[in-house]
Structure 1
Amino acid sequence: MPDDDRTPKGPNDVTTTQPPATLDAERTDLLTELADARADLVATTEGLGDEQVSARPTVSELCLGGLVKHVAAMEQQWLRFVVEGPSAMHYDLPDGVTWADIAAGTAREFPRWMTEHRNGFRLLPGETLAGILDHYARVAARSAEIIAAVPDLSATHPLPEAPWHEPGAVYSIRRVLLRVIAETTRHAGHADILRESIDGRKSS
């Protein structure tokens, strides 16, 4: 992706959420990399309206607004994990429902967190790009505060029980940051394709 203009656009611009100058080199590098990935993602929405960022211009169900919304939610959840541990993530199932039911699509009831996760990939009625970007900026600022405050990036928490987590697995704070960076970067690539499909604009 090209080096774009990082001129501050306002107090809620995620592209200007840079780490404090007092951080050690590792935290500075990690938070700067995350800020750059956020900026690449947000740049794919520039100049578009709510209808355009809600559109699904490819065979995928993804839309630009939904991608930004999803990535913000994932960053917020993982940074809550840094502070609260596994209690920040709830994967409880309704009574009588099993993971096999969920996988087969035959569950009589799906958990609320799963519905919220699916809705996180689209703009719901009343949601706007401006509102999503404002929320993302606040998430970014809070992430920087948390990482500045934690004593040790090597500190770990056990992951909550879920079929996609290895039993007994733990994540360090460092690994959480690497995961958030990877997810943001991956979805920024998806967003590049969506933006090019909308109006032909390319990131490089």
Structure 2
Amino acid sequence: MQDTTNAATTAAAATATATDERADLLEALAKQRHFLRFTTRDLTDEQAGQRTTVSELCLGGLVKHVASVERHWADFILQGPSAMPDFTAMTEADFAKRAEEFRMLPGETLEGVLADYADVARRTDELVTTLPDLNASHPLPKAPWNEPGARWSARRVLLHMIAETAQHAGHADIIRESLDGAKSMG
């Protein structure tokens, strides 16, 4: 069983040091993180790695993926597109390696995956509270899904993190319900 109290306490502390818009962004992100983590409550490592649909997704893998995405986008806020891969130049081997973040690999534990996610969340929360300007922007990395020349501000990246986390929390809820009937809401 995992303790999500530390992550919630950390998010509350970060929100307390932020004001207005930053506090709203942190609160929204913390809420979606909670729903994602909540889907893993009381699971064994085996259950967290179990696929319940035709996709490769499992609960531990979704948490790993969201942590990876949040880590990369936080790096993007600080460093710009050099922090992200050039998706247009990725090979099949690169995509296969990247697909590993959607699965629990041998030796990985749910506790470890959740701890990594909590570390990523603390780093992002600190970034939100200390970033001098949410309007600071960078060109998006090269990717088939990004409009050439488009730029995102730190604010836009944070909104994307919130949306991505919410989307995957929904995926996680479906996987959990398929696994053992447990629901995050309702």
TM-score, with length taken from structure 1: 0.83
Structure 1 unmatched runs, 5+: 1-8, 94-98, 103-108
1:136-166: CA deviations, max 9, x gaps?
0000000011111211111111011221110
Contact conserved, 1:15 with 1:38, CA < 8 A, in 2? no
Whether 1:193 aligns to 2:186 is no
Q: 1:14 aligns with which of 7, 32, 48?
A: 7
- Partners of 1:10 and 1:36 lie apart in 2 by 12
Q: Secondary structure at the match of 1:17?
A: helix
Pair 1:153 & 2:153 matched: no
* Closer, same or farther: CA 196–28 of 1 in aligned 2, 3 Å: same
**Where do 5+ consecutive residues of structure 2 fail to align?**
none
**What amino acid sits opposite 1:26 in the alignment?**
E
TM-score with structure 2 setting the length: 0.91
Structure 1 residue 111: deviation in Å?
4.7
Residues 198 and 10 of structure 1: is their aligned pair in 2 closer, same or farther, counting only changes over 3 Å? closer
Q: CA 1:62 to 1:92, structure 2 compared with 1: closer, same or farther past 3 Å?
A: closer
1:105-129 CA deviation, whole Å, 9 max, x = no partner? xxxx5353x2332011001111110
Q: Percent identity?
A: 54
Aligned partners of 1:30 and 1:178 also within 8 Å: yes
- CA shift at 1:20, angstroms? 4.1
Residue correspondences, number: 181
Q: Deviations over 1:18-64 (max 9, x none)?
A: 22423121000101110110000000000000100100112222100
Alignment-derived partner of residue 92 in structure 2: 110
More helix by share: 2
Does the 8 Å CA contact 1:54/1:122 hold for their aligned counterparts? yes
In 1, the alpha carbon distance for the partners of 2:4 and 2:64 equals 20
Stretches of 4+ moved more than 4 A in 1? none
Which amino acid in the other structure matches residue 122 of structure 1? R
Greater mean alpha carbon deviation, residues 71-80 or residues 53-62:
53-62
Task: Work out whether residues 62 and 103 of structure 2, in 8 Å CA contact, stay in contact via their aligned partners in 1.
Answer: yes
3-state SS in 1 of match to 2:138 = strand
The answer on whether the counterparts of 1:14 and 1:133 sit within 8 Å (CA) in structure 2 is: no
Q: Is the 8 A contact 2:4 2:37 kept in 1?
A: no
